[in-house]
Amino acid sequence: MDLFFRAAFIFGFIFLLTRVIGRRELSALEPFDLILLIVIGDSVQQSLTQDDYSVTGAVIVVGTIAGLQVLVSWIGFRVPRLRPVLEGEPIVLVEDGKPIFRNLRHERIALEELLEEARTCQIESLDDVKWAVLETSGNVSFIKKQ
């Protein structure tokens, strides 16, 4: 039972941590970020299981985390009012070719990064963009002007 409560606590902590970090950082991992995630994963594993290396302990921990993830997903689906809290909301970064610097600053996205994203979508200039939206997945969607 101790493993269940540890897993539930760690799940909540990681969920909160990912919401605080922000979606942009999670969608564009640099090599250092990947190494940091591996170190965090190892630290989390040690705090979850302590000295319990049994198969039963692993099943309890993994089952608890998977179950909580399904529960959060189900709640987000069934209770639309909680969806912005659980999943976030899309954020407009560019409107009619003009960057919205307040939103860029809030999401910690440099204009150069946004321009790079635009170039990967074959967009030469932000003047060609009607909307650029930071999706809840961390990807930027561009809608070109007609």
What pLDDT, on a 0 to 100 scale, did the predictor assign at position 70? Answer: 92
To the nearest 10°, report the CA torsion of 49, 72, 141, 100.
-90
- Residue 113's H or E segment, with its range, is helix 111-120
Same domain, 101 and 80: no
Domain residues for the domain of 115 are 91-144
pLDDT in the model for residue 39 = 79
Q: Does residue 112 share a domain with residue 81?
A: no
CB 115 within 8 A of CB 75: no
Q: CB count, 10 Å around CB of 67?
A: 14
Query: pTM higher than 0.75 for the full model?
Result: no
Same domain flag for 28 and 71: yes
pLDDT in tens, 35-83: 777 877 877 777 777 777 788 888 888 899 899 999 999 999 999 999 9
Based on the structure, what is the number of domains in the chain?
Answer: 2
Q: Which long-range contacts (C-beta less than 8 Å, at least 24 apart) are formed by 41-50? A: 44/10, 44/14, 47/6, 47/10, 48/3, 48/6, 48/7, 48/10, 49/3, 49/6
Measured distance CA(56)–CA(66) in Å, rounded: 15
